[in-house]
Structure 1
Amino acid sequence: MSELENKDTGSLESAKDKKKREKAEAKEKKAQEKREAVMAGGTGKKKKKKFGWIIALALVIVIVGYSVVTSVIAKNTPMQVNTVEATVGVIEETLSTSGTVSSEQSKTYYAPVGATISQMSIALGDEVAEGQQLVSFDTTDLEMKKTKAELDASVTANSYKSSEYKSNKNQSEYNEATIGLPELKVLAEQQEQYVQGLKYQLEDEQQQKKQKLQDWLGKLNQELDTQSNKLEEQHDSETRKSIQEIIQNLNNSIRETNNQISDLSMSDELKEKQRLIDAEQKKLDDMNEEINKREGKETSSKAGIADPYEKQQLAANTQSAQLTATEAENELEKARAGVTAEFPGIVTKIATVSTSKDATKGGGLLEGATVAEGTELFTIESNKQVKVGIEVTKYDLPKIAIGQQVDVTIAGNVYEGEVSKINKVAAANSQGTPVVGAEVHIKNPDDSIFLGVEAKLVIHTAYAENVITIPVEIVNADKQGEFCYVVDNGVVTMRRITTGISSDSMVEVKEGLKEGDQIVYDVTGTIMEGMKVMAVPMGGGMAGQTMMETGAAAGETEAVTETASEAVSQTAAGEGSSEEAGGETETAESQAASGTLGSENE
Structure 2
Amino acid sequence: MFSKKKREQDKDLDTIITETLEEDAVHDEDSYELEDSGAANPPRKKLPGWVIIPVIAVLAVIIIAVSFLSKGNDSGKGTPLQVSKVTTGDVREIYNASGKIESENTKTYYSPVTAPIAKCNAVVGNAVKSGELLVSFDTTNLERDNQQAQLTLKSSLNSSLVAKAQNAKAIDAANAANTQAAEQANQLADKVNELAAQVDAAYAKYQENLAAAEAAAPDQAKLKAEIVAQQNIIQINDAVIQKITDSYGNNFPDLDAALAKPDEEKNNDDLAIIQYHEAKTEIAKANEIINKITPQIKDGPVDDAGYNELNAQLETVYAQWEAAYNAASAPSADTGMSSAELEGLVISDNLAELTALSPAELVAKGKEGMAADMDGVIASVGLLETNTATQGMAMFTVASTEKVRVKIEVSPDDYDKIKVGNKAEITIGQYKYQGTLTKVNKIALNNEKGNPVIGAEIHIDNPDENVCIGAAAKISMTVAESSDVLLVPTEVINTSSEGDFVYVIKDGIVKKKPVELGTASTTKIEVKSGLKKGDQVVNDLNVDIKDGMKATASEKKNTDTAQKETESPVSVNVTN
TM-score range for the pair, normalised by the shorter chain length: 0.5 to 0.7
Aligned residue type for 2:97: T
Aligned to 1:42: none
Aligned to 1:583: none
Whether contact under 8 Å (2:436, 2:461) holds in the other structure is no
CA distance in structure 2 between the aligned counterparts of 1:454 and 1:78, rounded to whole angstroms: 56
* Residues 371-399 of structure 1, C-alpha deviations (whole Å, 9 max, x = no match): 22221111112334432111223333333
**Secondary structure of residue in 2 paired with 1:160:** helix
Q: Please say if residues 122 and 381 of structure 2, whose CA atoms lie closer than 8 Å, have aligned partners that are also in contact.
A: no
Equivalent residue in structure 2 for 1:346, among 341, 360, 377: 377
Between the aligned partners of 1:180 and 1:382, the Cα distance in structure 2 is: 72
User: In 2, Cα distance between the equivalents of 1:418 and 1:131?
Assistant: 28
For 1:392, give the aligned amino acid.
V
Aligned twin of 1:377:
395
Check the 8 A contact 2:375/2:402 in 1, yes or no: yes
The 2-side partners of 1:487 and 1:426 are apart by 47
Unpaired stretches in structure 1, ≥5 consecutive residues: 1-72, 182-297, 357-367, 541-602
CA gap of 1:158–1:501, structure 2 versus 1, over 3 A, is: same
Between the aligned partners of 1:525 and 1:425, the Cα distance in structure 2 is: 47
The counterpart of 2:435, out of the listed 418, 425, 440, is 418
Find the aligned partners of 2:374 and 2:528 in 1 and give their Cα distance.
50
Partner in structure 1 of residue 553 of structure 2 = 535
User: What letter corresponds to residue 123 of structure 2 in structure 1?
Assistant: A
Q: Does 1:324 align with 2:341?
A: no
Secondary structure of 1:415's aligned partner: strand
Q: 1:311–1:94: structure 2 CA closer, same or farther, 3 Å change rule?
A: same
Matching residue's letter, 2:507: N
Q: Indicate how the Cα distance of structure 1 residues 396 and 74 shifts in structure 2: closer, same or farther if over 3 A, else same.
A: farther
Q: Distance in 1 between matches of 2:543 and 2:347?
A: 92
CA shift, 1:114, in A, is: 2.0
Structure 1 stretch displaced more, 87-96 or 377-386: 377-386
What is the identity, as a one-letter code, of the residue corresponding to 1:505? Answer: T
Find 1:470's aligned residue among 471, 482, 488: 488
Superposed, 1:434-453 pairs within 5 Å as 434-453=452-471
- Conserved 8 A contact 2:436-2:460: no
Q: How does 1:256-267 map to 2 (within 5 A)?
A: none
1:522-561 Cα offsets, whole Å, 9 max, x none, are 5589433333333333259xxxxxxxxxxxxxxxxxxxxx
Q: Is the 8 A contact 2:441 2:456 kept in 1?
A: no
1:170 & 1:116 partners in 2: Cα distance? 53
CA distance in 2, matches of 1:436, 1:422: 11
Matching residue of 2:473: 455
Paired letter, 1:336: K
- Partners of 1:171 and 1:455 in 2: how far apart? 78
Distance 1:400 1:375, change over 3 A: same
The structure that has the greater radius of gyration is: 1
In structure 2, the partner of 1:312 is: 343
Task: Report the RMSD for the aligned CA atoms in angstroms.
Answer: 3.2
The 8 Å contact of residues 503 and 513 in structure 2, kept in 1 or not, is answered as yes
Distance in 1, Cα, partners of 2:343 & 2:522: 79
**2:533 alignment counterpart:** 515
How many aligned residue pairs are there? 336
Contact 1:417–1:440 (CA<8 Å) still a contact in 2?
A: no
Asked if the contact 1:134–1:341 (Cα under 8 Å) also holds between the matched residues in 2, the reply is yes
SS of 1:463's equivalent in the other structure is strand
1:462 deviates by 2.9
- Give the Cα–Cα distance (whole angstroms) in 2 for the partners of residues 528 and 156 of structure 1: 105
Q: Are the equivalent residues in 2 in contact too, given 1:114–1:373 (CA < 8 A)?
A: yes
Rounded to whole Å, the distance in 1 between the matches of 2:129 and 2:180 is 77
Question: When the two structures are superposed, what TM-score results if normalisation uses the length of structure 2?
Answer: 0.53
- Assess, with a 3 A threshold, how the Cα gap between structure 1 residues 525 and 324 changes in structure 2: closer, same or farther: farther
Does residue 130 (structure 1) correspond to residue 130 (structure 2)? The answer is yes
Partner of 1:333: 364
SS where residue 101 of structure 2 aligns? strand
Alpha-carbon deviations, 1:111-163, whole Å to 9, x = none? 12222211112322222233221110111121122222222222222222222
Paired with 2:142 and 2:353, the residues of 1 have a C-alpha distance of 16
The residue that corresponds to 1:392 in the other structure is: 410
For 1:319 and 1:539, locate their aligned partners in 2 and report how far apart those are by CA, in whole Å.
90
Q: Find the counterpart in structure 2 of residue 153 from structure 1.
A: 153
Tell me by how many angstroms 1:110 deviates: 1.1
- Are 1:428 and 2:459 an aligned pair? no
CA contact (8 A) 1:415 1:444 kept: no
Helix, strand or coil at the partner of 1:482: strand
Distance 1:523 1:426 in 2: 42
1:409 aligns with 2:431: no
- Residue 341 (structure 1) shift: 2.0
Q: CA deviation at 1:173?
A: 4.7
- Looking at structure 1, the residues matched to 407 and 514 of structure 2 have their Cα atoms a distance apart, in angstroms, of 40
Amino acid at match of 2:131: G
Give ranges in structure 2 of 5+ residues lacking alignment: 1-72, 182-331, 559-576
Which amino acid is the alignment partner of residue 308 of structure 1?
S
Query: Which residue in 1 is equivalent to 2:119?
Result: 119
Aligned AA for 2:426? V
Identity %: 31
1:457 partner letter: I
Q: Hey, what does 2:85 align to over in structure 1?
A: 85
The answer (yes or no) to whether the contact 1:419–1:438 under 8 Å persists in 2 is: no
Give the corresponding residue for 1:229: none
Instruction: Tell me, yes or no, if the aligned pair for 1:468 and 1:514 is still in contact at 8 Å.
Output: yes
- Aligned positions of 1:85-104 closer than 5 A: 85-104=85-104
What is the distance in 2 between the residues matched to 1:521 and 1:337?
A: 75
> What is the rounded CA distance, in whole Å, between the counterparts of 1:460 and 1:478 in structure 2?
28
After TM superposition, the structure 1 = structure 2 runs for residues 13-32 of structure 1, keeping only pairs within 5 Å, are none
Deviations 1:332-389 (A, max 9, x none): 11110101122232211111132x1xxxxxxxxxxx2x22222111111233443211
Over 3 Å counting, the alpha-carbon distance change for 1:482 and 1:150 in structure 2 is: same
- Contact 2:93/2:478, CA 8 A, preserved across alignment: yes
Answer yes or no: is the 8 Å Cα contact 2:77–2:552 preserved in 1. no
Contact 1:393–1:435 under 8 Å retained in 2:
yes
Partner amino acid for 2:440?
A: N
Q: Could you tell me how far apart the structure 2 residues matched to 1:333 and 1:415 are?
A: 44
Output one character per residue of 1:173-227: Cα deviation in whole Å (capped at 9) or x when no partner.
566789999xxxxxxxxxxxxxxxxxxxxxxxxxxxxxxxxxxxxxxxxxxxxxx
Q: Residues 144 and 87 from structure 1, CA distance in 2 versus in 1: closer, same or farther, beyond 3 angstroms? A: same
Matches for 1:237-252 after TM superposition, within 5 Å: none
Question: In 2, are the aligned partners of 1:481 and 1:496 still within 8 Å (CA)?
Answer: yes
Query: Greater helix share, 1 or 2?
Result: 1
User: For the structure 1 residues 314 and 432, does the alpha-carbon distance in structure 2 shift closer, same or farther, using more than 3 Å as the test?
Assistant: farther
In structure 2, how many angstroms separate the alpha carbons of the residues matched to 1:526 and 1:401? 41
CA distance in 2, matches of 1:348, 1:497: 55
SS of the aligned residue for 1:458 comes to: strand
Partner residue, 2:288: none
| Counterpart residue type for residue 505 of structure 2 | V
1:344–1:517 distance in 2 versus 1, CA, 3 Å? same
AA of the residue aligned to 1:82: Q
Deviation digits for residues 31-80 of structure 1 (CA, Å, limit 9, x no counterpart):
xxxxxxxxxxxxxxxxxxxxxxxxxxxxxxxxxxxxxxxxxx99977333
Q: TM-score, normalised by structure 1?
A: 0.51
